[in-house]
Copies of this chain bind each other. A is one copy, B any other.
């Protein structure tokens, strides 16, 4: 049994509380938040506190708060020589105050309040300063997910950057696609199967092998016809730049 104190009450903190609470191998022994009103729903399930000097004993203290607050809050903790982890993709391990043993427990997923999350499928990236702490985090990860990876701070940085491309930017391209459809009264749902197929395909083929489209086959006529269609100046720039990038990726090397 691993005991956990959760520090924070945001989206991820809430999802983590639920996942930990549903595991028989983990016991959440306390949830801290500066404002008790935000966590009052948990009142029947776990002891709450809004006093940072009043944290109880636990194997792991999970700080799940805004990136900028991680460093100062880790300094305010009254505990020392405990295993304290944050859950951020973009904050290095050494931003945590060194009075405690430090680690990272980063679930790589996009959490929104609306959608329920199945933690089992979510990769969890762990990092710690020594092997025994890594094992504790490994057990914590194994209890809620089938996929736990040891990823150092440098690797996590590139993973987080990569996630911006494959999640945030991809979703923006979905938005542009919807905008272009709606301008001609075309229901965007027609594109949903293609979108899912595109995402599913890269489990069987690498993105490089899976690439299709006018830029891939250097179909200038279609490219020009698309550029003429695009009235939005920014969309046109995006089309041009991604087409150029595709040509750089697949075209002949420049002399």
Contact = CB atoms under 8 A, between A and B. Distances in A.
B177 A213 contact: no
Contacts of A173: 165-166, 169-170, 173
A38 to B, nearest CB: 19
Contacts of A123: 190, 193
Determine how many copies of this chain the complex contains: 2
A163 B112 contact: no
A192 interface: yes
Interface residues of A, number: 92
A122 interface: yes
B166 A110 contact: no
A178 B198 contact: no
A56 interface: no
17 contacts: A108-B191, A110-B201, A151-B186, A155-B185, A158-B180, A159-B190, A159-B191, A162-B186, A164-B214, A165-B174, A168-B215, A174-B207, A175-B208, A178-B207, A234-B245, A237-B241, A241-B241
